[in-house]
Amino acid sequence: MSSPRLRVQFETLFEHYQGKSCGIQLEDITEILFCTRRNARIVLNKMEEEGWLEWHPAAGRGKLSQLVFKRSRADVSENLARRYLEEGKITQALNVLDQDKSKLAKVLDTYLGIIHQEDQQVVRLPYYRPLSMLNPTFPIRRSELHIIQQVFSGLVTIDDNDDLQPDLAHAWEMRNPRHWRFFIRPSVRFHSGDLLTMEAITTHLLSLRSRTLFTHVENVVSSGHLVIDIYLSRDDFRLPIILAEPCAKILPPIEERNVNFDLYPVGTGPYRVVHNDDKRLILHAYDNYFGFRPLLDSVEVWVIDDAHSSMIFPSLSKPIQPTDTTNYMDRVDLDPWCTFLLLNRKNGLAASNDWAHYFSQRLSSLNLFQLIPQEKIVELGVLPAHGLKPGWYHHTKQGFSSPPAYRTITIAYHAHHPMFPTLVKCIESIFKSDGLSVNFITYELTIGDLNEVDIWIKPMGISTHREDALAGWLLNHSDIEMLSKDEDYAYWVEEVKKWQADPNITFPANELGKSLVERLQIIPTLHCWLGVSQDHCGALQNATCNALGWFDFSQVWVKPEETNDSGENVG
């Protein structure tokens, strides 16, 4: 890519000659650019290679060379901005456009949104960070979870209406509360082309037994052609629901996975990963998918290195945050769960009830929300959380509490997140006002040593609005077991077991949420607005926001423009 200096030199020449082609002498260029004759030749040759101008040197002393401008100053700036965008460098793109966001939006319109390539429909979406962990057996963030749902299939799935639906299993039956039978679709293939075998299913489901949510799985066998039997050590009338968890997505056998499986996973879902690095993720529709083939041929997620593409506005063609935010809230949805503070009640400062009470009172959602700058509240689209779900109200006794001692508080949070840097500044401000010092641990995927952490900032990252999804979160991927008191965690596990064992009771979601707060394990902090503004969807149809703030790629399609008899667009 051409250097910023070369662009400035071109702009200097363009302005000097007012963009008009003319005859010149090399000495003229040396005076305009303040360089030697040799450097002037080098500069003109480089500009010609970029296609910005043509330089026809004349032979003989006193003869004029011809300088022909092929691009305007604006053309060059926009071209450079596009090339920066291809590398995900929105800040540099803004710089070459003189920080003019309207110009950047114009350039982005040609790169993001709905693109037609060789009769294929492609949608390009902006995002603020790479999606580097797409293995559902590891801790995953909410956006990675959405991609995983596009790439993998489980025995069952939860649809956008939060209903349990068949997936790899087309039917199932409860033989008794400790024996479930699933009937598998025939001729399902992984993206690699390998046939899905019953052995792959049984092996993966058996591997889940190390997780608290699946400890009651006693055995998994294939008792016949395309039949999977799951035997349990205790009654469970709700087994299909927990089999919709991300970790229960069926993976190929370990020996058949490539070394880059986390970046390039292989599943049986509607989309396959064909490219994934720190610049973009590219998904292609899987032609041999056992369900309906997606109508979108390709989905590309572009990494834009600036907060203009925060997850509050995952727009298709206008990733620049709108200046008028008065009307967008009625067109997006509120996160069905929350961002929370997880206290280390096992071996952190919060193992002491005095410290736990101090944290819960001083870091209440209202205390933190009052410190968030107004412009950040609008930019990030946040509201104070009074419980795990909007509408729930769980709290501990409020009032000022002084710290039990003067110590250093260690706080952990994701390194790349649009909201967390602002949130930790508010927390730090409160602690410093109380005479405490703060140590931060930032991480990409996992934390090295949880014993060092006192407070962990986390999003819940549940993929549905269903209240019973709290069971999978609590016992599977909340990390609460590692930081809770043994007796507290045992109580929460027992409440889930009671629900599984009785088909006539509803899931005690509100009670569990209340217990998590009152036992000083978590502090609900913020809800955020998520969604895809319909104003930004253009011809994209059925882009309905899900609980993760994205839309199901496999369910959307592009509505063609209407034309009249002469072939002209009419709308």
Output the domain CATH number for residue 47: 1.10.10.10
Q: Which value, in Å, is the radius of gyration of the alpha carbons in the chain?
A: 29
Q: Say if residues 385 and 526 touch (Cβ distance below 8 Å).
A: yes
Q: What CATH number should be reported for the domain holding residue 239?
A: 3.90.76.10
Residues 355 and 480 in one domain: yes
Distance CA 203, CA 201 (A): 6
Tokens for 288, please give them. Answer: 């041999």
Distance CA 562, CA 274 (A): 33
Tens of pLDDT, residues 108-118:
666 777 777 77
Q: Say if residues 474 and 480 touch (Cβ distance below 8 Å).
A: yes
Phi-psi region of 200 (alpha: psi -120 to 50; beta: other; left: phi over 0): alpha
Q: What is the 3-state secondary structure (H, E, C) of 318-329?
A: CCCCCCCCCCHH
Domain limit, last residue, from 71, 91, 123: 71
Asked whether residue 116 is assigned to any structural domain, the reply reads: no
Helices (H), 87-217: 90-96, 101-109, 142-151, 198-207
Domain limit, last residue, from 250, 284, 302: 250
Helix (H) or strand (E) holding 225: none
Q: Tell me, what amino acid is at 464?
A: T
Tens of pLDDT, residues 44-79:
998 888 888 888 887 766 678 888 887 777 777 777
Task: Examine the pLDDT at 331 and tell me if it is beyond 60.
Answer: no
Domain limit, last residue, from 42, 71, 100: 71
Tens of pLDDT, residues 212-237:
999 999 999 999 999 999 999 999 99
Name the pTM for this structure: 0.81
Asked whether residue 264 is assigned to any structural domain, the reply reads: no
CA-nearest of 101, 92, 48 to 71 is 48
Residues 523 and 426 in one domain: yes
Asked whether residue 258 is assigned to any structural domain, the reply reads: no
**pLDDT confidence of residue 48:** 87
Q: Say if residues 538 and 317 touch (Cβ distance below 8 Å).
A: yes
Residues 16 and 165 in one domain: no
Residues 65 and 165 in one domain: no
Domain carrying residue 226: 153-250
* pLDDT band, very low/low/confident/very high, at 311 (cuts 50, 70, 90): very low
* pLDDT band, very low/low/confident/very high, at 127 (cuts 50, 70, 90): confident
**pLDDT confidence of residue 533:** 56
CA-nearest of 460, 393, 380 to 423 is 380
Tens of pLDDT, residues 337-358:
999 999 999 999 999 999 999 9
**pLDDT confidence of residue 165:** 96
Q: Say if residues 6 and 46 touch (Cβ distance below 8 Å).
A: yes
Asked whether residue 433 is assigned to any structural domain, the reply reads: yes
Q: How far is CA 528 from the centre of its chain?
A: 14
Asked whether residue 306 is assigned to any structural domain, the reply reads: no
Helices (H), 50-114: 73-86, 90-96, 101-109
Tens of pLDDT, residues 253-285:
999 999 999 999 999 999 999 999 988 899 999
What mean pLDDT do residues 137-164 have? Answer: 93
In order of 13, 43, 69, 210, the CA distances from 36 in angstroms are 15, 10, 22, 72
Q: What CATH number should be reported for the domain holding residue 526?
A: 3.10.105.10
Residues 399 and 506 in one domain: yes
Asked whether residue 90 is assigned to any structural domain, the reply reads: no
Q: Which residue has the tokens 């590692």?
A: 482
Instruction: Please state the domain count of the chain.
Output: 3
Residues 33 and 157 in one domain: no
